[in-house]
Amino acid sequence: MTKPIILTGLRANNDLTLGNYFGGMLPIIDMAQQKSDEYQINMFIPDLHSFTTPIKHELLYSQIIQTAKLFAAAGLPLDNDSIYLYRQSYVPAHSELTWILDCFTYTGELARMTQFKDKSNLDESKLLLLKKEQNKLLTLSTSVGLYNYPVLMAADILLYGAKYVPVGDDQTQHLEFTRDIAERMNSKFGELFVVPEAVKKQHEFFGNDQGLRIMDLVDPTRKMSKSATSDKGVIFLSDTPDEAAKKIMGATTDDKAFVAYDPLEQPGISNLLQISALLSGKELEAVIEKHAGQERYGDFKKEVAEQVKSFLVHFQEQLKQVDEAAVMSKLESSEKAMNEQANATLYRVQQAVGLRPKA
Ligand code: TRP
């Protein structure tokens, strides 16, 4: 009666943006609800991943709980027994399996991970330049944690035998690595792990997103991201509704004075049209049609600003209503169940590598 498993990790550090909400959180919650009849859904907060790059540790714990509450506020059902919501560090098997997998992973495999290369900034000359420019202290060296992160991610997936893992572009390499290490262990030790499906199959399974991407308001050629240099282009779920409305009013547009959907020529206006579509739950086409030809950008922006404002008022109210005790109890019951599942896998691995007696 065990169901196949869909697994996804939802990062906790930093604040979620409107882009994260519509591009990540909502689609995942929808998916979980739709698939939970046939699949076990593992949603977890990869808290051990939170400090592969420097963070404010004094804030981490409350951010982890906040993330769980955000999911509840966004509609994740807490009473669905096929959906588990758990914190990685509450299931110690993740760390233990990571160490074992580490010993079968080659340094070269990890060194070529794009995300590692991007984030580690190994290029010293570039670093020094940055240091001068920003006139602030930058960490000069990279942690082993950042380097090792894909192995922990592989453990996250392999402990539960997850077949389906929705992955964004930045995670495809890590998923491929997970498949590699699973296959390597299987060929060395016999069938230990379920090998997750390849990226192409993952995309077929989850379907393509509607292509709606929220862009930065100041630089609409970039994705809206919390790592942007300025907060002015980024709407956070925690912004006050007025703050957020101001950001919309200040969004970069163009001098055409003609509302049209043209992401190349009018990226700012096109982005506002998309935001409006997402916030109103309407088809993009309908929103484009409604505003087509509007000449006063100010009027158009005001409408979008109002939408953002009422969305945030509503969302923040829902967040306030979230029953923290219910969230904690969901986390705890999920963690209990997950420890059982994960420990069973870990034990098989420990037996295979010789740390435990064979049955
Ligand atoms: N690496 C993912 C991210 O940065 C988060 C994550 C950690 C994850 N472990 C995972 C995602 C396992 C899927 C499966 O977004």
Residues 6+ apart with CB under 8 A from 3: 38, 39, 40, 82
- Catalytic residue annotation: 119, 223, 226
Select from 110, 174, 176 the residue to mutate for testing ligand 1; criterion: most ligand atoms less than 8 Å from CB: 174
Select from 113, 118, 171 the residue to mutate for testing ligand 1; criterion: most ligand atoms less than 8 Å from CB: 171
Atom 8 (ligand 1) nearest CA: 9
Task: Provide the 8-state DSSP code for 164.
Answer: B
Query: For position 13, what pLDDT does the model report?
Result: 61
Kindly state the average pLDDT of the residues 232-261. 96
Residue 324 in this model has a pLDDT that exceeds 60: yes
Burial class of residue 91 (count of CB atoms within 10 Å of its CB; 0-12, 13-18, 19+):
buried
pLDDT band at 129 (very low <50, low <70, confident <90, very high): low
Query: For position 268, what pLDDT does the model report?
Result: 97
Sign of the CA dihedral with 85 first, then 181, 208, and 280 last: positive
| Lowest-confidence segment of 17-26, 31-40, 210-219 by average pLDDT | 210-219
The answer to whether 159 and 86 are in contact (CB under 8 A) is no
Å from CA of 287 to ligand 1 middle: 34
Å from CA of 238 to ligand 1 middle: 23
Ligand 1 close to Cβ of residue 9 (< 6 A): yes
Beta pairing partners, 87: 45
Query: For position 139, what pLDDT does the model report?
Result: 52
Å from CA of 8 to ligand 1 middle: 7
Cα distance between residue 357 and residue 353, in whole Å: 10
What pTM did the predictor assign? 0.89
Residue 232 in this model has a pLDDT that exceeds 90: yes
Residue 140 in this model has a pLDDT that exceeds 60: no
Query: For position 208, what pLDDT does the model report?
Result: 66
The answer to whether 247 and 235 are in contact (CB under 8 A) is yes
Token pair of 289 as six digits: 């049609």
Residues present in the chain in total: 359
Task: Provide the 8-state DSSP code for 85.
Answer: E
Token pair of 321 as six digits: 């209503």
Architecture of domain 5-166+169-209+323-353: 3-Layer(aba) Sandwich (3.40)
55-65 per-position pLDDT tens digit: 889 999 999 99
Kindly state the average pLDDT of the residues 205-216. 78
Please state, rounded to an integer, the average pLDDT across all residues of the chain: 92
253-305 per-position pLDDT tens digit: 999 999 999 999 999 999 999 999 999 999 999 999 999 999 999 999 999 99
Cα distance between residue 322 and residue 239, in whole Å: 18
Residue 35 in this model has a pLDDT that exceeds 70: yes
Cα distance between residue 17 and residue 86, in whole Å: 22
Residue 136 in this model has a pLDDT that exceeds 90: no
Q: What percent of the chain stands above pLDDT 90?
A: 81
What's the CATH number for 241-319? 1.10.240.10
Ligand 1 close to Cβ of residue 105 (< 6 A): no
Where are the chain's structural domains? 5-166+169-209+323-353, 241-319
Vertex 37: Cα angle to 97 and 78 (nearest 5): 70
Query: For position 320, what pLDDT does the model report?
Result: 97
Query: For position 228, what pLDDT does the model report?
Result: 81
CB atoms within 10 A of CB 205: 15
CA-CA distances (angstroms) from residue 9 to 14, 41, 292?
15, 11, 39
73-123 per-position pLDDT tens digit: 999 999 999 999 999 999 999 999 999 999 999 999 999 998 888 877 655
Q: What percent of the chain stands above pLDDT 70?
A: 92
Kindly state the average pLDDT of the residues 320-329. 98
329-357 per-position pLDDT tens digit: 999 999 999 999 999 999 999 999 999 99
The answer to whether 273 and 291 are in contact (CB under 8 A) is yes
Query: For position 160, what pLDDT does the model report?
Result: 98
Å from CA of 100 to ligand 1 middle: 19
Query: For position 128, what pLDDT does the model report?
Result: 60
Atom 6 (ligand 1) nearest CA: 9
Query: For position 124, what pLDDT does the model report?
Result: 57
